[in-house]
Every structure is written in C-alpha cells, then in structure tokens.
Amino acid sequence: MSEIKHWYTIILLACFPVAIYANDKFADSHIHYNWDHRAETSVEEVVEILKQHQVGLTIIAGTPSPLALELREQAGDWVVPFFSPYIHELGKRDWYLDKKVVEQAEQGLKDGRYFGIGEVHFTSGFKPRTNNKIFLSLIQLAKKYDVPMMIHSDSGNEQTLLRLCSANPEVRMIFAHAGGNLNPSHIEKILQGCSNVWMDFAARDPWRYDGISKEDHTLLDEWKALVMKYPLRFITGTDPVWKVTRGSRWDSDDEGWTYYQKLYDFHWTWLNDLPEDVRRKIAWENTHTLLNRSMP
C-alpha cells in the first residue's frame, strides 16, 4: 500500500464514528486475512480496525495459512489463529489432494501457533467431499490436540453436517454461516443431535445471506426464536471477504476490510434486538466457551 493510501486509511479510521452499542464487547469469531487482502489493507491497518471497533477476541484464518499468524504477532493473544488448509494462494482448489496440508497442520498445532482448524469449505456437487482422506486426517488432529474446527458447507439440508458432528462428538465444531443455506428447522435438528456444535452466525451481510433478517436487519421471527431457544450455541463474526458478495473475479484484490464498519453494523443491529443476556452470550461469552478461554 502506498504511503498516501496508508495515511488516508488511518485518517478515515480516526474520523469515522464507531457507533455506541448496548454491549461494546465483541468477539469477532470469523475473520480472514488473505493474500488478496494485503494489497488493500496492511496487517497493521487490520489490527487498528479491530481495535477501533472494540473487538476483544477474534478467530482468524489466512490464505496462505501463515498470514493469520502475522495478525497475532502484531496484536497479541486476543487474535486466535486457526490453521487454514489453504496453504498457498490457490490452495482452496487442491488442499484435499496435498499431504503437506496435514503435515503443516500438525506441526503448527504441536508448536502452539494455531488454536483450531478451518475454515474448510464444501460445496454440494463439487469436490472435495467430506470423506476425503485429508479432511478426515484434519479431524483426527482436532481430536488429538483438542482444538475446534470450522466447517463451511453449502448443503441444502442438515444431513451432511449432522453426520459429521454425530461421528465426531469429541470435536468442537463451528458450522460457518448458519444463515447461508440452512433454515431454522435444519439447524435445530443439528443442535438437538450434537452438543459439540456452535453455529457461526457470520451471515456476512444482508446482501448475500438476506434470508435471516428483515428489512431493518433484525432477525426474522423464526431465526430469533431459534436463537432464544439455544442462546449458548450461537456465535457471530463479520467475515470481511467482500468480493464473494459483489461478484468480483477471484484473482482480484479484496477490499473487504475497508467495509468492516458496514458488516459490523449489520451484526450489531440484530444483536441489539435481543435481550441483554442473550446478546452478551452471542457477541462475547460463547466464543470464550468454545475456545476454552477464561473471560477477562
């Protein structure tokens, strides 16, 4: 990033008002810092954005994987890196064929550099499937090192995820983007069947996953009822991967971090429509429980 652009971003952060929320403690439980973010937003700027928004805990995955470690090095232990199986820039295409993924995952977990595994993506009708050897090996590592695993599935029903969590009750699983494809009845079956699952409500924004919220960005009644019934089983995050939403080419730079305020505001709108104790659990406490961290 040029020096002029760097200072322009810092000035924007300083001048852009951060809204006052009913609960200013926020665990952003789903963020990324990828190779295509770097040209737009530096590590230092990402950390400053998070601090400006009172983020006191965050789960991050990088592509390539070590980029997540750079944020922790810059910010401290409130940044919690997960090992991403995408170990090179285009790793999302071939991770399930590469034995080095398992080798690097185990070394990173053994060394204490990573505190979870994921986000791992599965798309219905495309490879890989959840029975591939690399993924099954990653699940075994999650068991061995007692770390959570974040899984993204685009299935149209609950069966794939329910099989995974039922077969691996020892693994704390985060199912990403609960509002993506599954509806509340699907999710309730998972929550009833698997006590080891947290639903990541990182619906990203109302433009891509608009099936969870009303026009005012509060939750639809059936989603709100589900959250109220299972207040200990939901977390949320901003997931600032912008070009997924705007339909840009995957090989272009991603300016998602410059839209952080917009994504943050979307989540706090529905959070602030919840009772205070439920809001506090989803915005802050449940992520500590998931990560086995004591709350400050």
pTM of the predicted model as reported, rounded to 2 decimal places: 0.90
pLDDT at 210: 65
Residue 11 has pLDDT above 50, yes or no: no
Residue 199 has pLDDT above 50, yes or no: yes
pLDDT in tens, 37-87: 888 899 999 999 999 999 999 999 999 999 999 999 999 999 999 999 999
Can you spell out the DSSP letters for the chain? --HHHHHHHHHHHHHSPPPP-S---EEEEEEEEEHHHHTTS-HHHHHHHHHHTTEEEEEEEEESTTHHHHHHHHH-TTEEEPBPS--STTGGGTGGG-HHHHHHHHHHHHTTS-S-EEEEEE-TTSSPPTT-HHHHHHHHHHHHHT--EEEEE--SSSHHHHHHHHH-TTS-EEES-TTSS--HHHHHHHHHH-TTEEEE-----TTT-TTSB-TTSSBPHHHHHHHHH-TTSEE------HHHHHT--TTS---GGGGHHHHHHHHHHHHTTS-HHHHHIIIIIHHHHHHT----
Euclidean distance between the first and the last CA atom of the chain, given in angstroms as a whole number:
35
Rounded mean pLDDT of 224-242?
94
pLDDT band at 127 (very low <50, low <70, confident <90, very high): confident
The answer to which of 3-12, 170-179, 223-232 has the lowest mean pLDDT is 3-12
Percentage of residues in the chain with pLDDT exceeding 70? 85
pLDDT at 5: 45
pLDDT at 53: 94
pLDDT at 154: 83
Q: Which two tokens stand for residue 143?
A: 């068991």
- Are 59 and 30 a contacting pair, CB within 8 Å? yes
Residue 296 has pLDDT above 90, yes or no: no
- Position with higher pLDDT, 10 vs 210: 210
Residue 206 has pLDDT above 90, yes or no: no
- The residue extents of the domains of the chain are 3-291
Can you spell out the DSSP letters for 6-53? HHHHHHHHHHSPPPP-S---EEEEEEEEEHHHHTTS-HHHHHHHHHHT
**CATH code for the domain defined by 3-291:** 3.20.20.140
pLDDT at 7: 45
